[in-house]
Structure formats: structure tokens, C-alpha cells
Structure 1
Amino acid sequence: MVDELIARSNRLGAEPKNTNYAGGNASAKGTGTDPVTGGAVDLMWVKGSGGDLGTLTARGLAVLRLDRLRALSDVYPGVEREDEMVAAFDHVLHGKGGAAPSIDTAMHGLVEAEHVDHLHPDSGIAIATAADGPELTREIFGDAVVWVPWRRPGWQLGEDIAAIKREHPDAVGTILGGHGVTAWGTTSEECERNSRWIIDTAAAHIDAHGEPEPFGAVLPGYEALPDDERRAKAAALAPVLRGLASTDKRQVGHFTDAPEVLEFLARAEHPRLAELGTSCPDHFLRTKVKPLVLDLPATATVEECSRRLAELHEQYRADYAAYYRRHADADSPAMRGADPAIVLVPGVGMFSYGSDKQTARVAGEFYRNAINVMRGAEALSTYAPIDEREKFRIEYWALEEAKLQRRPAPAPLATRIALVTGAASGIGRATAQRLAREGACVVLADRDGDAARDAAAEIGSSDTAIGVRCDVTDEDAVSAAMSAAVLAFGGLDLIVNNAGLSLSKPLLETTSADWDLQHDVMAKGSFLISRAAAQVLIAQELGGDIVYIVSKNGVFAGPNNIAYSATKADQAHQVRLLAAELGEHAIRVNGVNPDGVVRGSGIFAGGWGAQRAKVYGVPEEELGAFYAQRTLLKREVLPEHVANAVFALTGGELDHTTGLHVPVDAGVAAAFLR
């Protein structure tokens, strides 16, 4: 029974046409064993709160005693107090563990069918949000699918659907007004077949009978820009938009220029439809009731767009606050923030925001669902989502607020976006890993793009880390890396200048090419990265951190090392210069001075280790131990120790510190800062 339910859920959830991420649920009823009496007991397994059908496992199921669940009907206090029924679910659970039951549990338990699916397909919600949805339901499905007027999810909706199942024995499911679809079956296969039939039949009807251009005529000047121009404009606007969207609370961003988004924004009806907002509860919980829409054509300059977006953002915040005041009462949760979660820019695409990358990405996916819903509803009828009061009741539902309060405390670097150069190995790799563990989204930049992508994949999915190729000596490559970062995560907060190399040679053997190479990579490269990053940080108006991985050699140099030590001294002074210049923008600039980082180091692996070992007359494999013995602490310095210092400077405890160099050398007295 459970295996069938999991397999069905995963199949349905794997196809976006069937439901959105974390949307909908599925259930199965069967017989289990009462651990007290040893007798048979009727049970229901149902996807729990917060899970996702596509990735559901047995741990994500709530298991309930069916007789006790249905007995709750006898104590149901009525629709005005139906939220109390969620707490009652705790008293009908079977066994320990499992997921918390969701608000839709009653829908599954009260319906007299062995298997039930509740889904949020675009085609089904298009019918559910059409002005003449009841008539369309009869026209499309006959008696096989029954219309259910809008009702907020809860016990009463479960009672309504159960009554329909009893009164319409030939029906296989329902269209839930403003919400989605529910289907059932005697077997798991039949239930899935009925779900798919409802979804596919609705889609086929829209395709066969809908207006070909439901969003109206093309608006001249609002068409999608050419690919390169579109992405460049998106990258230029991203920091400005992230700053606006983070007025109340810092956000992570996501950008998409999916065809359906660009098509929607190019058509005459998009302002009217966007103003109506989304409808399905899963949609506007993530997208807010409506997006912010730039009312300028694609031909407007970045500067014109930025100015107008600031004006529209101010108006959006005022409108949202007014919406909250219209509907809030003494028991309503406090307003969570007035910034938009979705921003639409004609000719460019959609920017979406959330507390982490996944939340931001999913918000964008949900608005794409909403566009598809609006297309279907307008093709057959008129898009008519649930009214504003009902949207508020969902958005500020006490049960949703409780779910938010149960979230774990954010990690220290949550919502922070970091870019680390030279990140494919050594200090850079260790730093990227540490920042990600502390909650940051990380862009790993390296001249070896494949190695950077491999290192990013080791950290996690693209919601956490991405790898990009970047030669820090090349202005165009640096610009491309910055664009990749802001388009991936919305902006930047923390930059680590780590890319470096060294050629250990005495003065008379050091060529001008040796000198130029090391200065290009470290001095010039750090300058180019910092300059490009500062443009983003200043545009965001959120402050930020720039950290230079310098060296003890920037303070005290060893022999046969003039080019490397000179460029490290250059980097060290860049820290001081930029700290003085960028402080007015709340951008802190600090440095870390490591020494003797041998193990895992890309520099040492590239021949530097052999050269330094020769200088000091020790075997290369003993170089780390040699360096350790000349320190005060007699400890070897590893890449992870340098990463620790970067986190210490950026994790929040030293938020009043700038222009500082932190030694990570186990104690080299000659390199003490004076």
C-alpha cells in the first residue's frame, strides 16, 4: 500500500503539468495492526505538511487511524472554528514518527475512496479560476467531475467533497473553485488514471476551444529583447531590484526569461491580469497577492528602468500595507513585509525573491504556473481569481504563521551571496565550502571552469553553489562572472579575492614576464574583481564584505621571492585603500594573511612547494612540517584554517571591523603587524 502510494506520488509530482512544487497531496487507505491489541485497524497514509509529491518518501507520510479521524466529525465545531481540527489530528495518529498532517488531511480521510489525489495542475486551475467555471466543468466533463465552490482548505472542504462523492456515485473527481482538482479511485492505478484524465481533458479542451491569443495583441516595444541584450539588461537591473526587494529583509533572487514569461509581458492584457494576482493558495503564499510590474517598454534604458522601479516599489509597499490594514484584525499575524516577491520587466523577464535560493526559484515557478492558469482561463472565459479578502485569509492564516514559526533559525550567512576566486582548490575551495555550510549561496570562480563546476557540485545543488570560469586578469571574463553571479542568486554580498600563483625565484632569475604574471593575477586581478563587485554592492545599497587572501609575505618576505611578495604587499594596501573608500557604502574590506599552507594548496601543487623546499633545504613532502616548526604554536596551517578566518570576518561578530589584516600563520613573529 505505502509503496504504491509513494510510486504514484512520485510519478505525478515529477511532471509539472500535474502539480507545482510541494503542492497537492495523495493518500491511500488500508489495514494495519494495532500494536496494543494485535488486531487489524483501518489506517490512512497521506502526504504530510510541507512535503513534495515528486520527492516524497515514506518518512514524509502522516499515518492516521481512520475510525478516529472520521469520528472527529462528531466534535467538529463549525467552519468558524475549523482550524482547531488541525490540532485534533495529533490525537488520531498511528504510531510514532512520520510527518505532521497537513490541512488537507480531512479531504482525504472523509472521502469514501481507497485512494485520493489532490493536485494543482495549471489546466485544472484555469477552469477553477474562470468566471464561468461551473458551466465549463459541466461542458468539459459532464457528470464525471463536479464543481465545488471556493472554500479555504480545511475540515469543511473535506466534508463538502465527501458529500459530493456520496451524491454523485459516477463522479471520479472535482474541480475546486479557485484552487485545484481532487480525484479518487478504488485502486492506486485507477486514482492516478482519473487524476491524469481530468488534467489532460481540461488541457485538451483549452487547446481545442480556447482563443488563440488570450493575452491580447502584441504591445509594440514590449517584445523580448535579443538574447545577449536581454541577459545583459537583466544583470544590470538585478542588483537594483534585489536592493528594493530587500528593504524589509535581505532576500536571495532568481531570474528567468522563460518563453511564457516574455510572451505574457509582450501582450496588451498583462497589466490587467497581473493586477488581479494569483489564485491558487499555493501560488500567492509564495508570490504574494500580485507582482510588481515595470510599466516601461523593453527599449527603456537601465537608468530609466531603475528610476521607475524605485517609484513603483514605493507605491507597491504603500498598496501592500493598505491591503494588510483593510483585512487584518486583532488576531492577525504581524505584517511580514511589504516588498514584492515577483518583479516583471517587459522584454527582459521575471525576478523572484525568497529567504533562500530554492524559495526564490520556486516563487518564480509558481508565477509561471499562474501565467499558464491565466492563459487557460482567458482563452475560454475570463480570469476571475478569488477575492482579496480570501487571499488575505490564506496569506495571514494562523496555521501558515505557525508553520513559518516552526522553521529552524537561519544560519549565520543565510541570504548572503558569496563569490570566491581561485575556488577550485586549496584555500578558495575550503573557503567556498565553509561559507556554504554557514548558509551562503556561493559562486566558485576559477580559470579552470570544469574544476570550478566540479567543486560546486560537491557542495550541493545549483540552489547552493555554482561554478563559473573566470580569468581574473581579463576584464570581460570578470564582468561575465559577475553577471553569472547576479543572475544565479540575485546579487552579491561577500567577495573573496583568493586567486593567486607564485614563482619562487631570486631577483636575478626573475624575468619581467614572471613579474607581470604574478601582478596580473593577484594585484590586477583583485583590483578588477573588487571594482566589478563594488558596482554591484553599491547598486544594492545593502553593504557587503570584500576579503583579500593576502600572505604573511605582504608584511615580511622570505628569500628568493620578490615578485610574489611585492604583489602581496600590493594586495595588502588595496585592503586599506578600499576600506577607506567604500566605508561610506557600508562595505567592509579586510584581509587574511596566511603562511605555510601546503596541503591542498593549488599554488604549492603547481611547483611552488618544490621551489620553496629547495630554498629551505628540506624534502618537499616535509615542507608543511618545516613551516610549522618555525611558528610560535608549532602547528601546520591548512586551507580550512584560512576559511575559518574568512568566516570570522564576515559572519556578523566583527561587523564594525574594516581595514584589518588577520594573520593565520600559527605565529610568525617577524610578520606581526606593527
Structure 2
Amino acid sequence: MPVQTQEFKHVSYLWDEKMAAGLEGDEVGLLVYRSNLLGQDLRLTNYGGGNTSCKLMATDPLSGSLTQVMYVKGSGGDLGTMKRNGLAALYMNRLHSLEKVYRGIEHEDEMVGLFQHCIYDLESKAPSIDTPLHGFLPFNHIDHLHPDAAIAIAASKDGKAITRELFGGTIGWVDWQRPGFDLGLRLRQCLEENPGIRGIMLGSHGLFTWGDTAYECYLNTLEVIERCAGYIEDNSRKPAFGGQHLPATEEPYRWKQAAAVAPVLRGLCSSVQHMIGHFTDNERVLEFINSNDLQRLAPMGTSCPDHFLRTKIAPLILDLQPGDDLSDAVAIRNRIAGQFDLYRAQYTEYYNSCRHADSPPMRDPNPVVILYPGIGMFTFAKDKQTARVAAEFYTNAINVMRGAEAISTYTSLPRQEAFNIEYWLLEEAKLQRMPKPKPLSGKVALITGSAGGIGKAIAKKFADEGACIVLNDNDAERLESAEQAFISQFGRDNIIAGFLDVTDKNSLLSLVDKSCLAFGGLDIVVNCAGLSISKPLEEHTEADWDILYDVLVKGQFLVTQKAVEILRKQQTGGDILNIVSKNALVSGPNNAAYGSAKSAQLHLSRLNAAELGKDHIRVNVVNPDAVILNSKIWEGEWAAGRAKAYGVTVEELPAYYAGRTLLNAIIEPDDIANACFVFVGGLLNKSTGNVLNVDGGVAMAFVR
């Protein structure tokens, strides 16, 4: 193995000789290893972007003879997380034979279907459009990446000349062209015309590099990108983006402003479908949005097609100042709604002026990237991961613009070329193959007391159905355990967690702000936090009374009040569910404070339903009874109190409760979670002010 001698400043050298030695002789394993290393550094390539390959000799299962096979990243994969099953494996002789049937650039798209006739491993991933770009280059190992530094040169006005000067002719150049079969042929032609080169720069697009071994390819890739980044750093003689137009603001202030405006933006972005938001205010984003060149560069759009596909034709720059008072949500919405109308109109004009006879229908005309000068960048998409990745891609685009402007002049893709990428029939086919969204996809749910018992079951059910979850509890240890379990099952993108005492307005405001920053707002709020005290009337203390009413009634009031503020900002309706109790309707012994507080919760729900209907905010109630499993309520004196009231032992309570129901059923947290999903899953969107009993059938608790 060659020895690394160069020190890297602008890229991360991650090769582990021991790890690689364990893969010696396994070229496919080394390909996956190399790909994962490259994909870990977003400066080298973005999520889902770029592709890698290796070629090797393998036994043809039909003839038994050796044949050359290429393993290449398949369609839709990600280098950083790719495994063997993310690769497509193709016969090289069959791939090359496609040149005989290629009918020219006007018939590019038909070649993708023909790739299927070249498949060697029938279990492999579907080949991507970039397959021939690797197939027509003769090297054993090839990397095609989208490095910020390389694209900065490739997207600059003088990119070709800079590449020639920087690499002394050892890096070739191919002008911009949409990926496909013809581009693969052009790469081969470039190599034939420039024998001995170590890579090829693709105008506005990215970089191809190669090597005889996985390690040589990896090292060559890092060295080329390092040299590009060093050149930009050494030749930057002017302030980035023309210098700063706005001064930097402090982080706590930025977050407060962002949390205040995020639900308004989310509502405006959700005119076609519910969107999830993401907020970014890193150093590079702030440098760009606070700069003198923001208004010139941002409307130009991106250059690399992968950037463009994720971020749309251009961002929307808000006509807001960092110090604006955002407390009046109606005024702010009225102020910026016109900007959204204008953006949608401009996007429609872009579509109509660039469309072809066979173009797919126009997609959502709302912006993906929204820039608030002085504060940060918002991105909105159908789910959290897509919104976060869009922010990563636009940050890459900012890096490209910064580098290109430092050494030359930035150039973006022409509008028609951008449209041809965005509405490419192959991309449309890929979108059509995506799984159908789950019922709660695009929704954000906050369930109070969701680290255990009923609340945790509801949170899990909603996460299973596609929602982003705001976990919370007043028990820090229990909350941490629940957060780890939820992240492990549902992924870090879809879960946030924060301390919440429903009687403490400050902790509530902090948690809701956190949700607005993480997801853009709220859609579903479940008031589930609770406690129980069972005592005879004469033994009840004033403290007992106060804590029950503070948690159950005041807590429900405060959480609902704050939730309504966010839902009204969004103007997309929403759901408030209150977990009350059979005890709200049934009179029983030793239950004065708890039962009356539950009755107050129930009637407060009715009052809220009557008031909030005009906002399309539905308020409904689920009434459980005797949910003992995993409930903190039953860990304390409540169980003993109820057992005493009914003349049974604590151990006999579950059977006692089941025996008094019409269905002779024990009620579990999942039963309550399923009832909650019935209300919010989409089938009861015209239902509000209802009470759903989930108690196995307690006749005394019948509402009517």
C-alpha cells in the first residue's frame, strides 16, 4: 500500500490501514469502505450525491468463464451509509455493447432501461444514470464526487483555464452536460485526448478521479480536492461575498426570532402539503445572508445538479430585518404573504416558459430554501430528513459561490438546463416510485408526559405513523431513557426531547420554541401529563387539591393556549387531544379532587372545541380507565387508595377493573394510543368536541 506523505488541511484523511487490511482481496468490500469514508465528509460530497465504482474479474454463472464486472453505487443511495446491497453490478462487455444501439443524445433516457440487460448480480440495486460515466473509463477504481472546492472552480467563469493552470494539464475538462450515456462517451474521449491525466473536472458539476487500487483512488481524490481548496484559499484577495452588509446578531436572539417566524413560514410553505422545517444559522450561512452580494447571488440559483434538485431554482429572501418585532403574527404574515405569492408566480412562469411537451405536471411552487438576513436559513420539505439535507445542499452551494467569487465570477446553470434537470422524466419516475407517505407524515406531535405510560405509547404510535415527535417529561432520567429509545427506533431527525413541567410557563415556552426551531411548528398536541391522588374527603389537603388542579386543569389550559398560538400562526388547522378519564363522568368514593379536576378537563375541552372551530382546530377527548401498565400513577399511593375504596387488594385491582367492564377487558397504553390515532389519522378531520371512551365498556361512563 502506498504511504500517505501529504498533510491535509481542507479534507479529512480517514483511511485506517488495519480496517483496510481486514478487507484485503475483497475489492467490493474496499469499495464500500472507501465510499463510506468519502461520504462522511460533506465537503467532499453531499448526502445522496456522487458515486463510486470498482471493476474486477468474476465468474460468469452461465458460462463458468471469467468476465469483467463493475460494481457501482446504485440509484438513490448515499455514499456515507451505503452497504453492499446499495451497489449495482453489471457485465462490462454488455454495458459497452450498448454503444452499438445508442441512437444519440436525443434518445438518452431510453438507455437507462437497457442497463437492466447488463445486470450481473440479479439481487443488486438498480443502476443509476451515472453508470456509463464509470463504465467508459478503464480504471479499476473511480470516484465521482461533488466537492465544494472543485465545483467552485468548475462553476467559475474561468474554471477551465484555472483547472489547466492549477493542475498543469493533469486534470481534464468536460463542459457542462446533463449526466447520461453521451456524457460517459465524452469522458472516454477526454481521456483519449489527454492520456495520463489523473482526473476530469465536469463543468458546473463535479469531479472524476481514479486509481489502480481502492487506496490509490482514495488518496488521489483527496489530493485533487485539497489542491482545489488550497488554490481558493491562496487566491482569495477580496472579502467574501463583497463584505458584510449586516452585523452579526447573538445566537439566543437569532433563535428567538427564528422560533417566532418559523410557524408563519411553515404555514405559507404548506399550501400544497404539510411541510416540516429545519433551521440553520451556522457561520457560513450567516456570512452569506449578511453579505452585500446576497441579493445578487441568491437569485442566480445553484450550479451542481444535485444541489439544484434539493433546493429548487432559487431561495426566497425574506423582506424582514433582524430587529423586527415579530410578536404580531398576523401582521408578519400579511407582510410576507405577498412574497410567497410572488415566488409562486415566478416559479409558475419558470415552469411554463421552460416546459416541454412531455414534461411532468408542475410540482409544488413554494420555496424550499428561505433566507432571513441576520437570522438564518429555513428549509422546508415533506419530512425532516429531506428538509435537513436541503439545508446541507444549500450550504454546499454557498461554499461553491464563495469559492467561485473568490477566484473569478460565479456562474449558475442556465434556467432551461436547470428545468431539464428538475423535470427530467427519469427523476419524475424516481419520485413516482417513492413509498406512499404515512398518515402522519409531515405532522409534528407534542404529547405531554411522553416519556412513559400512556404518553409514551401515544408518541410511539404517532412516530410509527410518520409524525415528528416532541418528547417531554418532568422526570429527567426517564426522559433521557425514552429519548435514546425513540432515536434508536425512529432516527435522530424525527425526535427531539425537552424538560416540561406543564405548570411552569417558562419550560413550556422553551419546549415549544425548540419544536419550532427543529420542525417549524406543531400540528398535534396531546395533553396527557397527569397524576392521581385518592383519599377520603376529610383526608384531602389543600396541597393535594392545588397540585391536581395545577397539573390537570391549569396544565391543560396553558399547553392548549400556547399550542393554539402556534397553530394560528400556521393557519393549517390542527388537533388537540385531551386524555381525561372515566372519572370525569362517574362519581366514586375517595375521589373528590381528582374526579372534579377530570370533569374540569372534560368541560374545558368542550369550551375549546366551541371556540377553536373557526380556526379548523379540532379538540377531542379520549377517556381511559384503569390503565395500569407502565403508569407512574399506579406506582404510588393511588393504587392503594383505589384498592381500599373498592375493598380489594392492590394485586387484585387489574382483575377487578376488568371484571366491571362490559367487555371484561384490561386496558393498556396501546389501546389509548390507537384511539388517539383514530382522531388524528385523517378519517375524522370533520369531527370535534367528541368524547371517545376506551374503558372496556363502563355503562356509568356512557356520555349519552
Give the TM-score taking structure 1 as reference length. 0.98
Aligned residue for 2:31?
Answer: 5
CA distance in 2, matches of 1:224, 1:536: 27
Ranges in structure 1 where 5+ consecutive residues have no aligned partner: none
Paired letter, 1:448: D
- Secondary structure of residue in 2 paired with 1:116: strand
Q: How many residues align?
A: 672
User: CA offset at residue 613 of structure 1?
Assistant: 2.1
Aligned residue for 2:472?
Answer: 445
Please list, as runs of the form range in 1=range in 2, the aligned pairs for 1:195-594 lying within 5 A after superposition.
195-219=221-245, 222-302=246-326, 303=328, 305-459=332-486, 460-594=490-624
Paired letter, 1:573: H
| Per-residue deviation, residues 413-460 of structure 1 (Å, max 9, x unmatched) | 111110000101100000000000011111112112442243133222
Superposed CA RMSD in Å reads 1.2
CA distance in 2, matches of 1:300, 1:595: 49
Q: Do the aligned residues in 2 keep the contact of 1:224 with 1:346 (CA within 8 Å)?
A: no
* Residues 346, 606 of structure 1: alpha-carbon distance in 2 compared, 3 angstrom cutoff: farther
Q: Do the aligned residues in 2 keep the contact of 1:144 with 1:173 (CA within 8 Å)?
A: yes
CA distance in 1, matches of 2:510, 2:240: 38
* Residues 216, 308 of structure 1: alpha-carbon distance in 2 compared, 3 angstrom cutoff: farther
- Secondary structure of residue in 1 paired with 2:572: coil
- Secondary structure of residue in 1 paired with 2:56: strand
- Secondary structure of residue in 2 paired with 1:611: helix
Ranges in structure 2 where 5+ consecutive residues have no aligned partner: 1-26
Paired letter, 2:314: K
CA distance in 1, matches of 2:338, 2:636: 53
Aligned residue for 1:656?
Answer: 686
User: CA offset at residue 258 of structure 1?
Assistant: 1.0
CA distance in 2, matches of 1:135, 1:168: 16
Q: Do the aligned residues in 1 keep the contact of 2:88 with 2:121 (CA within 8 Å)?
A: no
Paired letter, 1:529: V
Matched, 1:632 2:662: yes
Q: Do the aligned residues in 2 keep the contact of 1:48 with 1:60 (CA within 8 Å)?
A: yes
- Secondary structure of residue in 2 paired with 1:53: coil
CA distance in 2, matches of 1:307, 1:142: 56
Q: Do the aligned residues in 2 keep the contact of 1:599 with 1:624 (CA within 8 Å)?
A: no
Q: Do the aligned residues in 1 keep the contact of 2:443 with 2:467 (CA within 8 Å)?
A: yes
CA distance in 2, matches of 1:307, 1:211: 42
CA distance in 1, matches of 2:221, 2:389: 23
| Per-residue deviation, residues 361-403 of structure 1 (Å, max 9, x unmatched) | 0001111111111100000001101211100000000000000
Matched, 1:34 2:64: no
* Residues 152, 451 of structure 1: alpha-carbon distance in 2 compared, 3 angstrom cutoff: same
Matched, 1:191 2:221: no
CA distance in 1, matches of 2:406, 2:681: 51
Q: Do the aligned residues in 2 keep the contact of 1:423 with 1:429 (CA within 8 Å)?
A: yes
Aligned residue for 2:21?
Answer: none
User: CA offset at residue 315 of structure 1?
Assistant: 0.7
Q: Do the aligned residues in 2 keep the contact of 1:45 with 1:64 (CA within 8 Å)?
A: yes
Paired letter, 2:524: L
* Residues 28, 86 of structure 1: alpha-carbon distance in 2 compared, 3 angstrom cutoff: same
1:111 is aligned, of 117, 127, 137, to 137
CA distance in 1, matches of 2:325, 2:163: 46
CA distance in 2, matches of 1:335, 1:224: 38
User: CA offset at residue 15 of structure 1?
Assistant: 1.1
User: CA offset at residue 611 of structure 1?
Assistant: 2.4
CA distance in 2, matches of 1:61, 1:427: 43
Aligned residue for 2:635?
Answer: 605
- Secondary structure of residue in 2 paired with 1:319: helix
- Secondary structure of residue in 2 paired with 1:463: helix
Q: Do the aligned residues in 1 keep the contact of 2:172 with 2:191 (CA within 8 Å)?
A: no
Q: Do the aligned residues in 2 keep the contact of 1:254 with 1:351 (CA within 8 Å)?
A: yes
Q: Do the aligned residues in 2 keep the contact of 1:175 with 1:181 (CA within 8 Å)?
A: yes
- Secondary structure of residue in 2 paired with 1:634: coil
Q: Do the aligned residues in 2 keep the contact of 1:143 with 1:170 (CA within 8 Å)?
A: no
User: CA offset at residue 606 of structure 1?
Assistant: 3.3
Matched, 1:130 2:160: no
Matched, 1:65 2:95: no
CA distance in 2, matches of 1:22, 1:604: 48
CA distance in 2, matches of 1:673, 1:527: 23
* Residues 554, 151 of structure 1: alpha-carbon distance in 2 compared, 3 angstrom cutoff: same
Paired letter, 1:184: W
Paired letter, 1:89: F
User: CA offset at residue 579 of structure 1?
Assistant: 0.6
Q: What percentage of residue pairs aligned between the two structures are identical?
A: 50
- Secondary structure of residue in 1 paired with 2:359: coil
CA distance in 2, matches of 1:621, 1:189: 65
User: CA offset at residue 527 of structure 1?
Assistant: 0.5
User: CA offset at residue 212 of structure 1?
Assistant: 4.3
CA distance in 2, matches of 1:635, 1:207: 71
Aligned residue for 2:652?
Answer: 622
User: CA offset at residue 646 of structure 1?
Assistant: 0.2
Q: Do the aligned residues in 2 keep the contact of 1:294 with 1:346 (CA within 8 Å)?
A: yes
| Per-residue deviation, residues 554-610 of structure 1 (Å, max 9, x unmatched) | 111321111111111111011101111110011000000000100111211233223
User: CA offset at residue 274 of structure 1?
Assistant: 0.3
- Secondary structure of residue in 2 paired with 1:628: helix
Q: Do the aligned residues in 1 keep the contact of 2:173 with 2:190 (CA within 8 Å)?
A: no
Q: Do the aligned residues in 1 keep the contact of 2:532 with 2:633 (CA within 8 Å)?
A: yes
User: CA offset at residue 463 of structure 1?
Assistant: 1.2
CA distance in 1, matches of 2:670, 2:248: 46
Give the TM-score taking structure 2 as reference length. 0.94
* Residues 273, 2 of structure 1: alpha-carbon distance in 2 compared, 3 angstrom cutoff: same
- Secondary structure of residue in 1 paired with 2:127: coil
Q: Do the aligned residues in 2 keep the contact of 1:223 with 1:262 (CA within 8 Å)?
A: no
2:100 is aligned, of 46, 63, 74, to 74
CA distance in 1, matches of 2:280, 2:532: 41
Paired letter, 1:539: K
| Per-residue deviation, residues 78-124 of structure 1 (Å, max 9, x unmatched) | 11111111000011001321211111000011111111110011111
User: CA offset at residue 182 of structure 1?
Assistant: 0.7
| Per-residue deviation, residues 608-650 of structure 1 (Å, max 9, x unmatched) | 2232223223332332221101100001000000000000011
CA distance in 2, matches of 1:107, 1:557: 76
CA distance in 1, matches of 2:120, 2:288: 48
Paired letter, 1:559: P
CA distance in 2, matches of 1:451, 1:212: 53
User: CA offset at residue 146 of structure 1?
Assistant: 1.2
